[in-house]
Structures are given as C-alpha cells and as structure tokens.
C-alpha cells in the first residue's frame, strides 16, 4: 500500500506531461497546416529569374496543347461498326459540352462547312495554280489529268466536282492536307492498325493547370461513353483514356 502511494503521484505527473506534449504537437501541426499554401503552380520550382526556355516550358505545362490533350481509345466490342458508332456518339456529346476546343476521330461530317470554304477558295489555296496553268495548253493538260483520275478508285469522289473544278484544284488541296502517316479510317472514323480500337484525340478548353476543370472534362468523356454504350451488355467496348 505504501509503495502504491509513493509511486502514484509521479506516474500521474508523467501522464499529464505526455498529454500536454501531445496536445502541443497537435497544435503545432494544425498551425503548420493552416499556414501551408498548396498549389499546382510549377513556376515555384524555377529560379527567381528564369530564362526564356524555362518560361516557355512552364507555359506549355500550364496551358500548352500537350497539357490539354486527351488521347482516347474505344477498344473491343462486337465489331468495327459498333466501335465507329460509339466513337461518333462520344465525339458528338463532347462537342456539345463546350468543354473541348477540338475533337478529332476521323469523322468528316463536321467538316462540311470547311470543305465548302476550301472549294470556294480553291484557286487561292491550291499549290498547283501558276500563270502557265491558265494558258490553253496548261488548261488542256490539267483537264486531261483530272479525266485520267476518273478511272482510279478516287474517281467517284472527283466526278461530282468535274464540271465545277475541271482542273482538279480541290483534289490537290486535299492531297496536301492528308498527313503522310494518317491513321487508318474504317466506317468513317479512325481505327488502330494493330488492335480492334477506334481512336480519338481531344484538347480541353481549360488550361492544363486547372485541375478541377480537367477533372470535369474527363468526367464528361466517361459520361458520354456510358451513354453511348448503354444496353450493349457484355458485347460493349471499353474506354481507354
């Protein structure tokens, strides 16, 4: 009994000291957290006086095209036609959301106005227009070249324009615009050459540093895909993002 009484007070004091110290540590931690500024500004890692190359790098990371670009794949499913249908539906929903500056999936349906403008300005834009082309001999050669194309696989595309564009300037512009390594097109949309996958690329309207807006844009992509594949069951494709 005497031993308990002798050891009691010091033990209580030690517990009190530990408790007070623990509360002080919690208080200090709360103060540190309250005063800590958390941000996504990568310029904090730059020197106080960054050179031009460093400033350009940070600008590109914050709002450049690379920081705003999303690459999407619609893979699997029952057929290429199904993947193409889903790709068009997702692209349409993304365009209507106004969250993206650009959506490309190979669908030319949204380029009709641009095509009309190119056709109307074909002589200003065509790389083949020269003063010599509008001589009698130049016009004859250009028309003969266009006529010779009618027997090729591109003939069905050229024929509707023959009477309005006999020298084939629209065709020349189109050939210049097609990249050397363009994606394969199937059922009107881009398809992978190595996998059963429809391809899409999009750039968000919000800056890459705006993480909340980026999350909203990505959520819109998922919502558009879910709506486009609703009711497909086990045969539905999967979204790669």
Q: Is 66 a residue whose pLDDT tops 90?
A: no
Cα–Cα distance, 123 to 116 (Å, whole number): 13
Over residues 160-205, the pLDDT tens digits come to 777 888 888 887 887 777 666 667 888 889 999 899 999 999 999 9
Cα–Cα distance, 237 to 77 (Å, whole number): 4
CATH superfamily of domain region 68-109+183-240: Multidrug efflux transporter AcrB pore domain (3.30.70.1430)
Q: Is 158 a residue whose pLDDT tops 90?
A: no
- Residue spans of the domains in the chain: they are 68-109+183-240, 112-177
Nearest to 74 by CA among 203, 228, 199: 199
Cα–Cα distance, 225 to 86 (Å, whole number): 7
For residue 103, give both structure tokens: 């959506």
pTM across the whole model: 0.61
Beta strands 189-191 and 184-186: pairing type?
Answer: antiparallel
Residue 198: in which H helix or E strand, if any? strand 197-204
Decide if 139 contacts 133 (C-beta within 8 A). Answer: yes
Q: What is the pLDDT of residue 2?
A: 46
Nearest-10 crossing angle of helices 169-177, 112-120: 130
- Give percent above pLDDT 70 in the chain: 85
183: which DSSP letter?
A: P
């Amino acid at each position: 009994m005497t031993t308990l009484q002798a050891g009691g007070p010091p033990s209580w004091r030690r517990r009190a000291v530990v408790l007070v110290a623990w509360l002080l540590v919690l208080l200090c931690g709360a103060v540190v957290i309250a005063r800590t500024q958390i941000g996504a500004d990568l310029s904090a890692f730059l020197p106080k006086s960054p050179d031009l190359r460093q400033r350009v790098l940070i600008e590109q990371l914050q709002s450049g095209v690379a920081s705003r670009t999303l690459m999407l794949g619609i893979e699997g499913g029952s057929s290429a036609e199904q993947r193409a249908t889903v790709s068009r539906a997702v692209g349409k929903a993304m365009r209507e959301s106004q969250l993206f500056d650009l959506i490309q999936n190979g669908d030319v349906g949204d380029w009709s106005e641009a095509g009309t403008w190119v056709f109307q300005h074909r002589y200003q834009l065509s790389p083949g227009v020269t003063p010599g082309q509008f001589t009698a001999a130049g016009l004859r050669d250009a028309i003969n070249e266009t006529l010779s194309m009618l027997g090729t696989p591109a003939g069905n595309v050229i024929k509707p324009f023959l009477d309005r564009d006999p020298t084939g300037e629209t065709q020349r512009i189109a050939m210049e615009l097609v990249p050397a390594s363009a994606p394969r097109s199937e059922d009107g949309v881009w398809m992978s050459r190595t996998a059963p996958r429809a391809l899409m690329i999009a750039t968000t309207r919000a800056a890459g540093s705006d993480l909340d807006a980026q999350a909203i844009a990505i959520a819109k992509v998922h919502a558009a895909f879910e709506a486009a594949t609703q009711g497909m069951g086990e045969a539905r494709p999967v979204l790669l993002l």
